[in-house]
Structure 1
Amino acid sequence: MMSATTTLQTTAETILAPGVADDPAFDWVRGMFRDDRASQFLGITITTLSEGLCEGEFTLRSEMCNGHGNAQGGFLYAFADSLFAGACNAGGQPTVAAFNTMHYIAPGKEGQRIHGRAIQSDTWGRNGITDVELACDGRVIAQFRGTSRAVTLK
């Protein structure tokens, strides 16, 4: 349960940009993002969503920066993970992370708008590989690779 001091930066109604994933085929992933309080807390806006693809953006706030004045890596990781989830779940089947890694290439700074693009590059059976690239002002600042697994929810 969220505390009274927690402020969501986007909401269930605003996490998806207008017109994104309106097709009934995306009911599952729309519902996933509607209930995703972590992504809403970060202030993520999903700008593109189709099967195997998810793009979005968010702004680095002061509370997301470390003592060097750079984006704390966990916030970038959480953003990449949210886009990864969007790409993996856009096919309509519940899918979770099995393994992932992140490479930090350049710092992000407070106030910068970070754009991310997740592309599911390969699938086999119930498994998949998705690559996520994060960029700021056209410059890549991090790369994430995740392995997913489709699951059955009870």
Structure 2
Amino acid sequence: MTDDDLARACAAAMWAQDLASQRLGMVLEDVAPGRAVLSMTITADMVNGHGSAHGGFIFALADSAFAFACNTVDQRSVGQQAAITYLAPARAGERLTATAIERARPGRSGLYDVTVTGADGTVIAEFRGHSRTVKGRILAD
């Protein structure tokens, strides 16, 4: 099995159990070792009192992309810490894309950057996540 095959198999196994991402309407667009791309359309139910996408939904999209990126090598990894900076508003009906990229994975720790963009390429948010490898495998468990 190639590294790309392993990443896709891990993503498929995780996706089958990830009801939160599925119910929010997220789509797993692409996955590769240390990388994942997810998208989601902002619905009217996801808009806050200012008429823009609630930050919690943007965070959830970025967090899901982070989760898939840090679980591509069949070692269970969980989020240890994450932070997000919102740079532009998103509106109802807009399709957002979160692209997560592994920056470093020394030992049991990992560092990932996620860029959330709008359909026109506008950067909506930047997210940085720290992962921690825990006991267990994705495919063998």
Q: Tell whether 2:98 aligns with 1:116.
A: yes
Letter in 2 for 1:150: T
**Displacement of 1:28 after TM fit?**
2.8
2:36 aligned with 1:51:
no
**Structure 2: tracts of 5 or more residues without a match:** none
1:62 and 1:123 mapped to 2: Cα distance?
38
Query: Is contact 2:111–2:131 with CA below 8 Å preserved after alignment?
Result: yes
Please name the residue that 2:86 is paired with: 104
SS of 1:48's equivalent in the other structure is: strand
Segments ≥4 residues shifted beyond 3 Å: none
User: Which residue of structure 2 lines up, in the alignment, with residue 83 of structure 1?
Assistant: 65
Q: Is the 8 A contact 1:29 1:92 kept in 2?
A: no
Match of 1:14 in 2: none
CA contact (8 A) 1:66 1:72 kept: yes
2:17 to 35, 52, 67: 35
Unaligned runs of 5+ in 1: 1-20
What is the RMSD of the two structures over their aligned residues, measured on CA atoms?
1.7
Q: How far 1:27 sits from its partner (Å)?
A: 2.6
Query: Do the aligned partners of residues 22 and 122 (structure 1) sit closer, same or farther apart at CA in structure 2, a change above 3 Å counting?
Result: closer
Q: CA deviation at 1:46?
A: 1.0
Provide the residue aligned with 1:10 in structure 2. Answer: none
Q: Which has the higher contact order (CA 8 A, sep 6+)?
A: 2
TM-score by length of 2: 0.90
Determine the structure 1 residue equivalent to 2:51.
Answer: 69
For 1:80, the aligned partner's letter is A
> Residue 149 of structure 1: which of 122, 132, 135 is its match?
132
TM-score normalised by structure 1 residue count: 0.82
